[in-house]
């Protein structure tokens, strides 16, 4: 059996009491024996002296002396012996009268010899005569060398003493037991609140901060209980603060564009944010936990950076290629934090792609500008020649050529500027509520003549569709789509423009019965300067930027554009722009705005 805290405390508390009590009793019993013996010695001596004085007052003859001694012995219960000068026993209370003479000489008995020499003696000795421990008191009879000796059986005295000490032991056991009981009760009283405290502490350890103890009184244990309650409250507040802090930190880290990876002193990954997971194409958290950085990022330089940062050496920044998929160019910066290292990752791929796009754009623009400029230069050079300038046919032909190329340059610059405005300062675009039907109709009306000249039937049907955005930009979207439809549709074809609100979006469809777009080019026609047929586009005055502008402009309005096309059958471009929330019920004045209208 294991002793509980209370049991141990009870034993600990009562042990000194029990030991002290036992020692006290031992000493007391010992002292009692000694005192009893001392007083017995004295009384026996006193008795012996009395008997000696009585014998001295004699004279008794031998027979009388024996009789007297016998009677005295009967009265007192002690053995009384009278010994003559030569050691002969004159009388003995415990011996029959006739046997006295037969007793051996007592002159050499130590107490007798001592009494004779010193006057009196007290001795404890084994009596051979009766085979017992006896206490002897011997006293010389005044005026002679006779000795009176009184013997008492010690067995009685010892029995009395044993009796007394047994009583003492019983009392001691009783008192000791009571002491242990009191100590146990006291310990239990102490153990109960401590037990409650332990249970509450275990609940706190398991994460339950509502655990409380209810201390009674004002002793140390109660004070401990109050302190425990206060500590729990503080612990909960501190933990809540720490948790809020951690949540904020992880929200910040999760919201960052840069990837963040925390690595501990053993190069194990301890934290990864969403951006890092994306950049490094990492598996879910459960598979990352506890892995070493080089198991997940197989680029030796990353480990080099971690070690360099951890040991305070440089360089701690590098640009690495991460063999995706997708492949990425990643800028990695490492900084020591505590015993670990924090890696900050920046995906440079997009930046590089944008840089590349810009470079491509500049070279494309230069290329696009060079052709009309070269034509203009050639025409001007020819016109410098009087013959050509004054020739009634050649002269106007070259001037027209210059005019045509100037228009192309103008159109090109106009598109470049439009695109750059949409790209660089989208926030400056006006955002006003407008009816897209007005924009669609205006665009078609203006292009009606151009369609007619190209031998194409252009129809428009526009239902009222309110959107929020920039009318000028949306007009450019419509212009580009309808111009393309006319341009890439042979004579005799049809172009239908339909606007209607559908599924929460103002939906414009520009359908033509033209040449169509090859399947493999469908994805690319929205790229800048991408043309399926360069010569045809150029001869029609196209810049190759129209659809790029459309895509960008629609995107800035929160919309989408898509194309469906079949070669030699025609194409349909569909633009969807979210409808604006209606501010007021439709008025009667707007009624005529919808409905089909052939222009
Ligand atoms: P472009 O100024 O050359 O028309 P766009 O960006 O407007 O430039 O169009 C890109 C290319 O897409 C065109 O060169 C043409 O090949 C193709 N394309 C655009 N619209 C149509 C259409 N309606 N039918 C056939 N091809 C078209």
How far, in Å, from the CA of 438 to the mean position of ligand 1? 25
Residue 14 Cβ < 6 Å to ligand 1: no
Atom number in ligand 1 closest to CA 542: 2
Long-range Cβ contact pairs of 517-521 (< 8 A, separation 24 or more): 517/563, 517/565, 517/567, 517/571, 518/567
Q: Rounded to whole angstroms, what are the CA distances from 338 to 76, 250, 288?
A: 101, 18, 21
Which two tokens mark 461? Answer: 């049907």
Atom number in ligand 1 closest to CA 515: 25
pLDDT for residue 495 is more than 70: yes
Whole-number pLDDT of residue 591: 38
More confident residue, 350 or 453: 453
Q: Both ends of the chain: CA-CA distance in Å?
A: 107
Q: Are 311 and 229 in contact (CB under 8 A)?
A: no
Whole-number pLDDT of residue 286: 72
* Per-residue pLDDT tens digits for 507-560: 999 999 999 999 999 999 999 999 999 888 888 888 999 999 999 999 999 999
Question: What's the chain's average pLDDT?
Answer: 86
Whole-number pLDDT of residue 571: 98
Closest C-alpha among 100, 149, 157 to residue 127 = 149
DSSP class of residue 556 equals: H
Atom number in ligand 1 closest to CA 528: 6
Q: Rounded to whole angstroms, what are the CA distances from 379 to 373, 537, 540?
A: 10, 22, 20
Average pLDDT on 129-157 reads: 84
**For the whole model, what pTM was predicted?**
0.53
Give the C-alpha separation, 403 to 521, whole Å.
32
How far, in Å, from the CA of 354 to the mean position of ligand 1? 24
How far, in Å, from the CA of 416 to the mean position of ligand 1? 16
Beta pairing partners, 571: 565
Atom 25 of ligand 1: nearest residue by CA position: 516
Percent of the chain with pLDDT over 70: 94
Q: How many CA atoms lie within 13 A of 399 on its CB side?
A: 9
Place of tokens 């010569």: 535
Across 264-268, 387-391, 564-568, least confident range: 387-391
Q: Are 333 and 246 in contact (CB under 8 A)?
A: no
pLDDT range class, residue 500, cuts 50, 70, 90: very high
Q: Are 64 and 82 in contact (CB under 8 A)?
A: no
* Per-residue pLDDT tens digits for 86-100: 888 888 888 887 777
DSSP class of residue 523 equals: T
Residue to mutate, 368, 494, 517, ligand 1, most ligand atoms under 8 Å from C-beta: 517
Q: Are 311 and 320 in contact (CB under 8 A)?
A: no
Residue 517 Cβ < 6 Å to ligand 1: yes
Give the C-alpha separation, 215 to 212, whole Å.
10
Across 18-22, 108-112, 382-386, 399-403, least confident range: 18-22
Output the CA torsion sign for 589, 593, 596, 599.
Answer: positive
Residue to mutate, 415, 476, 484, ligand 1, most ligand atoms under 8 Å from C-beta: 484
Which two tokens mark 289? Answer: 């936990």
Closest C-alpha among 354, 357, 451, 418 to residue 547 = 418
Give the C-alpha separation, 327 to 255, whole Å.
23
Atom number in ligand 1 closest to CA 573: 23
Specify the DSSP element, H or E, that contains 421: helix 394-424
Atom 14 of ligand 1: nearest residue by CA position: 531
Residue 485 Cβ < 6 Å to ligand 1: yes
Which two tokens mark 266? Answer: 């053993």
Give the C-alpha separation, 229 to 19, whole Å.
40
SS3 (DSSP) at 283:
coil
Residue 521 Cβ < 6 Å to ligand 1: no
Which two tokens mark 599? Answer: 């222009």
How far, in Å, from the CA of 599 to the mean position of ligand 1? 24
Residue to mutate, 537, 538, 548, ligand 1, most ligand atoms under 8 Å from C-beta: 537
Q: Is 261 exposed, middle or buried (0-12, 13-18, 19+ CB in 10 A)?
A: buried
How far, in Å, from the CA of 545 to the mean position of ligand 1? 9
Residue 514 Cβ < 6 Å to ligand 1: yes
Residue 533 Cβ < 6 Å to ligand 1: yes
How far, in Å, from the CA of 525 to the mean position of ligand 1? 7
Across 124-138, 198-212, 420-434, 560-574, least confident range: 124-138
Whole-number pLDDT of residue 7: 64
Residue 532 Cβ < 6 Å to ligand 1: yes
What phi and psi, each to the nearest 5 degrees, are found at residue 568?
A: 65, 0
Average pLDDT on 137-155 reads: 87
How far, in Å, from the CA of 537 to the mean position of ligand 1? 7
Give the C-alpha separation, 257 to 278, whole Å.
10
Atom 21 of ligand 1: nearest residue by CA position: 484
More confident residue, 61 or 395: 395
Q: Are 260 and 271 in contact (CB under 8 A)?
A: yes
Most confident by average pLDDT, 36-45, 191-200, 479-488: 479-488
Residue 411 Cβ < 6 Å to ligand 1: no
Residue to mutate, 479, 488, 562, 575, ligand 1, most ligand atoms under 8 Å from C-beta: 488
Whole-number pLDDT of residue 590: 42
Give the C-alpha separation, 30 to 261, whole Å.
84
Whole-number pLDDT of residue 324: 65
State CA 119 to chain mean position distance. Answer: 98
Q: Are 460 and 436 in contact (CB under 8 A)?
A: no
Residue 513 Cβ < 6 Å to ligand 1: no
* Per-residue pLDDT tens digits for 404-436: 999 999 999 999 999 998 988 888 889 999 999
What phi and psi, each to the nearest 5 degrees, are found at residue 326?
A: -80, 160
Residue 547 Cβ < 6 Å to ligand 1: yes
pLDDT range class, residue 342, cuts 50, 70, 90: very high
Residue to mutate, 408, 521, 525, ligand 1, most ligand atoms under 8 Å from C-beta: 525
How far, in Å, from the CA of 517 to the mean position of ligand 1? 8
Residue 215 Cβ < 6 Å to ligand 1: no
Whole-number pLDDT of residue 595: 36
Residue 489 Cβ < 6 Å to ligand 1: no
Atom number in ligand 1 closest to CA 489: 24
Whole-number pLDDT of residue 419: 92
Residue to mutate, 547, 554, 564, ligand 1, most ligand atoms under 8 Å from C-beta: 547
Average pLDDT on 502-507 reads: 96
Average pLDDT on 148-166 reads: 81
Task: Please name the residues in contact with 528: beta carbons below 8 A apart, sequence gap of 6 or more.
Answer: 361, 364, 419, 544, 545, 548
Which two tokens mark 66? Answer: 């024996």
How far, in Å, from the CA of 479 to the mean position of ligand 1? 13
How far, in Å, from the CA of 512 to the mean position of ligand 1? 12
Give the C-alpha separation, 537 to 546, whole Å.
11
Q: Are 150 and 44 in contact (CB under 8 A)?
A: yes
Output the CA torsion sign for 117, 120, 125, 128.
Answer: positive
pLDDT range class, residue 599, cuts 50, 70, 90: very low
pLDDT for residue 593 is more than 70: no
How far, in Å, from the CA of 528 to the mean position of ligand 1? 11
More confident residue, 164 or 371: 371
């Amino acid at each position: 059996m294991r002793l509980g805290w209370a049991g141990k405390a009870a034993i600990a508390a009562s042990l000194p009491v029990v030991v002290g009590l036992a020692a006290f009793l031992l000493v007391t019993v010992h002292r009692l024996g000694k005192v009893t013996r001392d007083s017995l010695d004295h009384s026996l001596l006193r008795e012996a002296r009395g008997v000696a004085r009585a014998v001295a007052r004699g004279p008794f003859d031998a027979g009388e002396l024996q009789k007297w001694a016998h009677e005295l012995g009967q009265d007192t219960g002690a053995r009384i012996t009278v010994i003559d000068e030569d050691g002969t026993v004159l009388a003995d209370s415990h011996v029959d009268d006739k046997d006295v003479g037969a007793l051996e000489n007592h002159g050499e008995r130590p107490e007798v010899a001592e009494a004779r020499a010193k006057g009196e003696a007290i001795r404890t000795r084994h009596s051979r005569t009766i085979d017992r421990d006896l206490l002897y008191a011997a006293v010389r009879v005044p005026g002679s060398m006779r000795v009176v000796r009184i013997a008492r059986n010690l067995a009685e005295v010892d029995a009395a003493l044993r009796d007394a000490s047994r009583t003492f032991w019983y009392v001691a056991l009783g008192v000791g037991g009571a002491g242990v009981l009191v100590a146990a009760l006291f310990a239990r009283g102490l153990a109960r609140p401590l037990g409650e405290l332990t249970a509450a502490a275990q609940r706190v350890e398991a994460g339950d901060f509502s655990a409380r103890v209810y201390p009674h009184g004002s002793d140390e244990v109660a004070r401990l209980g109050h302190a425990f309650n206060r500590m729990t409250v503080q612990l909960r507040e501190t933990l809540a603060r720490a948790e809020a802090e951690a949540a904020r930190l992880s929200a910040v880290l999760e919201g960052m564009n840069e990837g963040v990876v925390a690595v501990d002193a053993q190069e194990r990954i301890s934290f990864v944010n969403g951006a890092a997971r994306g950049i490094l194409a990492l598996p879910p958290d459960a598979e990352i936990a506890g892995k070493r950085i080089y198991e997940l990022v197989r680029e030796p330089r990353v480990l080099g950076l971690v070690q360099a940062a951890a040991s305070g050496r440089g360089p701690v920044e590098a640009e690495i290629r991460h063999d995706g998929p997708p492949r990425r160019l990643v800028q990695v910066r490492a900084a020591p934090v505590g015993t670990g290292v924090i890696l900050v990752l920046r995906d440079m791929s997009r930046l590089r792609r944008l840089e590349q796009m810009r470079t491509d754009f500049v070279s494309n623009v230069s290329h696009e500008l060079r052709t009309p400029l070269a034509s203009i230069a050639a025409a001007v050079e020819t016109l410098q020649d009087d013959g050509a300038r004054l020739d009634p046919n050649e002269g106007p032909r070259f001037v027209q050529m210059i005019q045509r190329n100037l228009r192309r340059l103008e159109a090109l610059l106009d598109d470049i500027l439009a695109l750059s405005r949409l790209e660089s300062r989208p926030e400056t675009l006006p955002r006003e509520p407008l009816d897209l039907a007005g924009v669609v109709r205006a665009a078609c009306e203006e292009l009606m003549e151009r369609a007619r000249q190209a031998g194409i039937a252009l129809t428009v049907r526009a239902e009222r569709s309110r959107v929020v955005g920039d009318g000028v930009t949306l007009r450019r979207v419509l212009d580009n789509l309808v111009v393309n439809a006319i341009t890439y549709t042979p004579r005799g074809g049809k172009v239908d423009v339909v606007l209607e609100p559908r599924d929460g979006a103002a939906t414009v469809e520009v359908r033509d019965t033209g040449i169509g777009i090859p399947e493999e080019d469908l994805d690319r026609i929205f790229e800048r300067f991408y043309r399926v047929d360069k010569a045809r586009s150029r001869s029609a005055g196209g810049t190759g930027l129209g659809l790029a502008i459309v895509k960008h402009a629609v995107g800035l309005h929160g919309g989408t554009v898509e194309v469906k096309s079949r070669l030699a059958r025609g194409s349909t471009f569909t633009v969807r722009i979210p409808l604006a929330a209606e501010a007021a019920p439709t008025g009667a004045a707007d009624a005529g705005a919808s409905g089909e209208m052939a222009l």
